[in-house]
Amino acid sequence: MKYAKGFISLVIAIIFLTACATRSEPVQPSAPDSNIQSDTNQIDVAPVEASSVPNEPDLEDKPSKQAASGKVNEPANNEPLKPEYRMNSVYRFEPLGSDIPANKVLLTFDDGPKDAVMLNSMLATLDKHHAKAIFFVNGYRVKANPELLKKLHEQGQTIGNHSWDHIDLKKQDKAEVVKQIGDVQDIVKELTGKAPRFFRPPFGSGNDAVRQTAKDHGMLYMTWSNGSLDWDLDKEEKNKPDKVIQNVLEQLHPGANILMHELPWTAEALDELLSKLEEKGYGFIDPQTIELEHADPLNAE
Check 162, 230, 261, 286 and give the catalytic one: 261
Sign for the CA dihedral angle at 149, 153, 155, 156 comes to: positive
Is 261 noted as a catalytic residue in this protein?
yes
Q: Which amino acid, residue 96? A: L
Helices (H), the chain: 2-24, 30-52, 55-69, 74-78, 116-128, 139-144, 146-154, 174-192, 208-216, 240-250, 264-279
C-beta of residue 142 within 8 angstroms of C-beta of residue 113: yes
Check 110, 183, 230, 286 and give the catalytic one: 110
C-beta of residue 258 within 8 angstroms of C-beta of residue 293: no
DSSP SS3 for 198: strand
DSSP SS3 for 173: coil
Is 110 noted as a catalytic residue in this protein?
yes
C-beta of residue 122 within 8 angstroms of C-beta of residue 262: yes
Cβ-Cβ contacts under 8 Å for 267 (sequence gap 6 or more): 118, 121, 122, 125
- 238, 239, 294: which is closest to 269 by C-alpha? 239
Q: What is the spatial distance between Cα 209 and Cα 218, in angstroms, rounded to a whole number?
A: 14
Question: How many other C-beta atoms can be found within 10 angstroms of the C-beta atom of residue 211?
Answer: 21
As annotated, the active-site residues are 110, 261
